[in-house]
């Protein structure tokens, strides 16, 4: 092993394997025409099937560290720092989880390298020798394109579910390599941060956009709480997850954790159905990886129709009422 594109994962985010697969797929696309292997580096305990899936979704090699003590951002970051110092990857991609954000932030300081956070896309320059990171900026009003300079290793975090997973063809599983770190007693940084206690958060809604194959979205076309409750009724009866635009968050109709878009969450379901959503670029950024987009809008020139696979020019509430008749 040596330089290449590295994808970080750990067992604190084990329930969102699809996110790791999506990042691996993006790394594989970025590595084409380059002599850069895609290496999945993980911390934690993983079974043979989980490792095999990493190869299937784009990893050329897998490097694991079997963590032996209670996980902490400090310990994880120290391990990753040792790995980067030893192997010197060209690019290391982290998920925008709490752990991913903490490790990458610490690593950017210890390695003195550039870090671009919450990316919604990664591309290569026309010459192909540098990476360009796209992310929201200026209160999510623009998409900034950032190029990292003067860094032998580049770091970035990517928003959850921003990339679709791909099945890599002609991949053969090879032996997994292991990185054995020094024992905790030899950890020179241990003791700077100590976990005093922890408790489960209360009153926080659990949302799983990754397992729902169909997601419904609501926008300004639903003009009051009664119409939105109708939308929720359809979503629940259809066994679908639901979200909405930033406008509905700002009006207090939905909570921030259900905001779909550039400054909210990104989704990649099989089908996304947008009810009364105009299609601002901020929202499109969060749904661009959806396999099929169905848009319902009363305005025939609504921007979202440019992105939709199927367009229904009609009042969103009328369509929702018709859908309730089917249950």
Does one domain contain both 288 and 226?
Answer: yes
Does one domain contain both 168 and 305?
Answer: no
Q: What is the pLDDT of residues 262-311, one digit of tens each?
A: 878 888 899 999 999 999 888 998 898 899 999 999 999 999 999 999 99
**Which candidate, 32, 1, 25, 3, places its Cα nearest to that of 128?**
32
Tell me the average pLDDT across 241-265.
89
Q: What is the CATH number of the domain that holds 307?
A: 3.40.50.1220
Does one domain contain both 44 and 177?
Answer: yes
Question: Dihedral sign, CA of 247, 253, 255, 258?
Answer: negative
Does one domain contain both 179 and 279?
Answer: no
Res. 50: pLDDT tops 70: yes
Domain contains 182: yes
Does one domain contain both 174 and 250?
Answer: no
The model's confidence at residue 33, banded by pLDDT at 50, 70 and 90, is confident
The model's confidence at residue 1, banded by pLDDT at 50, 70 and 90, is very low
Percent of the chain at pLDDT above 70? Answer: 87
Could you tell me the pTM of the whole model?
Answer: 0.74
Does one domain contain both 12 and 99?
Answer: yes
Res. 20: pLDDT tops 50: yes
Res. 132: pLDDT tops 90: yes
Q: Of 169, 186, 203, which residue constitutes the final position of a domain? A: 186
Does one domain contain both 150 and 30?
Answer: yes
* More reliable by pLDDT, 93 or 191: 93
Does one domain contain both 133 and 254?
Answer: no
Domain contains 198: no
- Give pLDDT, residue 185: 43
Does one domain contain both 24 and 132?
Answer: yes
Domain contains 297: yes
Does one domain contain both 167 and 226?
Answer: no
Tell me the average pLDDT across 83-99.
93
Q: Of 186, 205, 231, which residue constitutes the final position of a domain? A: 186
- C-alpha 176/C-alpha 224 separation (Å) is 55
Tell me the average pLDDT across 119-127.
87
Q: What is the CATH number of the domain that holds 160?
A: 3.40.50.620
Domain contains 203: no
Q: How many structural domains compose the chain?
A: 2
Domain contains 191: no
Does one domain contain both 227 and 173?
Answer: no
Per residue, the 3-state secondary structure of the chain, as one string, reads CCCCEEEEEEHHHCCCHHHHHHHHHHHHHHHCCCCCCEEEEEECCCCHHHHHHHHHCCCCEEEEECCCCCCCHHHHHHHHHHHHHHHCCCEEEEECCHHHHHHHHHHHHHCCCCEEEEECEEEECCCCCCEEEEEEECCCCEEEEEECCCCCCEEEEECCCCCCCCCCCCCCCCCCEECCCCCHHHCCCCCCCCCCCCCCCCCCCCCCCCCCCEEEEECCCCCCHHHHHHHHHHHHHCCCEEEECHHHHHCCCCCHHHEECCCCECCCCCEEEEECCCCCHHHHHHHCCCCEEEEEECCCCCHHHHCCCEEEECCHHHHHHHHHCCC
Domain contains 11: yes
Tell me the average pLDDT across 10-29.
84
Q: Of 186, 204, 223, which residue constitutes the final position of a domain? A: 186
Does one domain contain both 18 and 118?
Answer: yes
Domain contains 74: yes
- C-alpha 285/C-alpha 281 separation (Å) is 6
Which residue range(s) make up the domain with 222? 214-324
Domain contains 204: no
User: What are the tokens at 54?
Assistant: 């990493």
* More reliable by pLDDT, 165 or 324: 324
Q: What is the pLDDT of residues 146-194, one digit of tens each?
A: 998 888 899 999 988 888 777 665 455 566 888 776 554 445 455 566 6
- Give pLDDT, residue 150: 84
Percent of the chain at pLDDT above 90? Answer: 46
């Amino acid at each position: 092993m040596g330089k290449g594109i590295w994808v970080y994962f750990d067992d604190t985010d084990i329930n969102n394997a699809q996110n790791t697969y999506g990042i691996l797929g993006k790394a594989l696309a970025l590595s084409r025409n380059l002599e850069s292997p895609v290496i999945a580096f993980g911390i934690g305990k993983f079974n043979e099937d989980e490792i095999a899936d990493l190869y299937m979704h784009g990893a050329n090699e897998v490097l694991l560290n079997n963590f032996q003590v209670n996980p902490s951002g400090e310990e994880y970051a120290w391990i990753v720092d040792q790995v980067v110092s030893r192997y010197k990857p060209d690019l290391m991609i982290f998920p925008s989880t709490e752990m991913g954000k903490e490790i990458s932030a610490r690593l950017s300081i210890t390695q003195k390298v550039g870090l671009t956070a919450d990316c919604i896309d990664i591309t290569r320059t026309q010459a192909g020798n540098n990476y360009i990171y796209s992310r929201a900026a200026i209160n999510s009003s623009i998409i900034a394109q950032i190029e990292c300079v003067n860094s032998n290793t580049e770091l970035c975090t990517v928003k959850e579910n921003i990339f679709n997973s791909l099945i890599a063809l002609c991949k053969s599983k090879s032996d997994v390599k292991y990185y054995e770190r020094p024992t905790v007693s030899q950890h020179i940084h241990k003791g700077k941060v100590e976990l005093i206690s922890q408790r489960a958060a209360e009153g926080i809604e659990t949302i799983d956009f990754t397992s729902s194959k169909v997601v419904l979205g609501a926008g300004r076309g639903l003009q009051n709480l009664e119409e939105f409750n109708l939308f929720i009724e359809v979503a629940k009866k259809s066994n679908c997850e639901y979200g909405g635009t930033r406008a509905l968050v700002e009006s207090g109709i939905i909570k921030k954790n259900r905001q779909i878009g550039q400054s909210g969450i990104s989704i990649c379901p099989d089908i996304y159905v947008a009810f009364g959503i105009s299609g601002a670029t901020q929202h499109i950024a969060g749904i661009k990886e959806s396999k099929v987009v169905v848009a319902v809008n009363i305005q025939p020139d609504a921007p979202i129709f440019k992105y939709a696979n199927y367009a229904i020019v009609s009042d969103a509430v009328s369509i929702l009422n018709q859908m309730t008749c089917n249950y």
